[in-house]
Copies of this chain bind each other. A is one copy, B any other.
Amino acid sequence: MSNTAKYLLGLDGGGTKTIARLIQVDSGQEWSAKCGATSLTNNFALAVENIAKICNTLFAQAHCAPENVYAVLGLAGACNEKVKNTLEATLPLHFCHVEVVTDAKTSLYGANMGKPIAVVALGTGSVGMRLLDDNTEVLVGGWGFVHGDEGGGAQLGLMAVKQLMHEIDANNQHHCPLGQYLSKQLGQDRQSLQQWLAKSTPTDFATLTEAIFALKTHCEVANNVLARHAENVEKLISMTVSDTNLPLVLMGGLAKPTIGLLSKTVVGSMVDAKGDSLDGACLLALQNYQRMNGDGLTSYAQ
């Protein structure tokens, strides 16, 4: 294998795990690796360490030099410009070309392999994105748990916990199955619920969603909470698709249970994702390579 061959590196890095793929452009040969968290805003030093580790693992596997690699790193937390710039300045790897983007962007490019698409991601948070013909990207929502993310699992959990607050406010009675379940998990009274709230993270709220879905048919309150969740998701979808006719990809851990709550019209506009965030990162790396080398399509992209 020639040390001067050209390579693409795509990386999809999140708060718990990271996957990366190295591709030799001419042959299409691929190498893959996994490692731990590379979220830039959770633990920056660990992210740098893990990115360097996973890249060097791949370089060793492929016997390639970083100087020949066109890399795109799709990282959670890269929407923070300052942190992103610090990473680009700090990274101890001498790529031919490297671009740090958000994992949202790599998901968007992966969903329809770079073709126009609307994507709504439902996880702990929620965010919508659309990619237009001219490669314009539009972000919708994704304002975070405290100020937004109304279609996400954390907000769904919070809506349920608010029902428990309501029952506590109305004389400490936990009538409905949802209230009874939550009071057992989080606390029976104001004092214990407030202690739970003081320590709770968006993830803690999101872990309640499974039980809320499970109570759908037995509990009117759970059912109402899920109806409001569906309304929030449909609003986010409508804002994301906007006045376009783009097909819609729904992704993230909360996508599957939520689809059953949505209207037939919305479900009818949905398509399966063609690729994932890692595919999107590799595609963006290819586009960079092509732009910089004036190439047309390569064997990888054909």
Contact = CB atoms under 8 A, between A and B. Distances in A.
Interface of A: 79, 81, 138-141, 143-148, 158, 161-162, 165-166, 169-171, 190-191, 194, 197, 239, 242
A169 B197 contact: no
Given A139-B190, A169-B141, A147 B239 contact: no
Nearest to A205: B147
A139 B143 CA distance: 32
16 contacts: A81-B191, A138-B171, A139-B169, A140-B169, A143-B165, A143-B197, A145-B146, A147-B158, A147-B161, A147-B162, A148-B162, A148-B165, A166-B239, A169-B239, A170-B239, A171-B242
Contacts of A239: 166, 169-170
Contacts of A81: 191
Contacts of A242: 170-171
B170 A147 contact: no
Q: How many copies does the complex hold?
A: 2
A147 B169 contact: no
A162 B239 CA distance: 14
A197 B139 contact: no
Contacts of A170: 239, 242
Nearest to A240: B169
A145 to B, nearest CB: 8
Given A148-B165, A170-B242, A242-B170, A194 B143 contact: yes
Nearest to A79: B194
A171 B209 CA distance: 32
Contacts of A191: 81
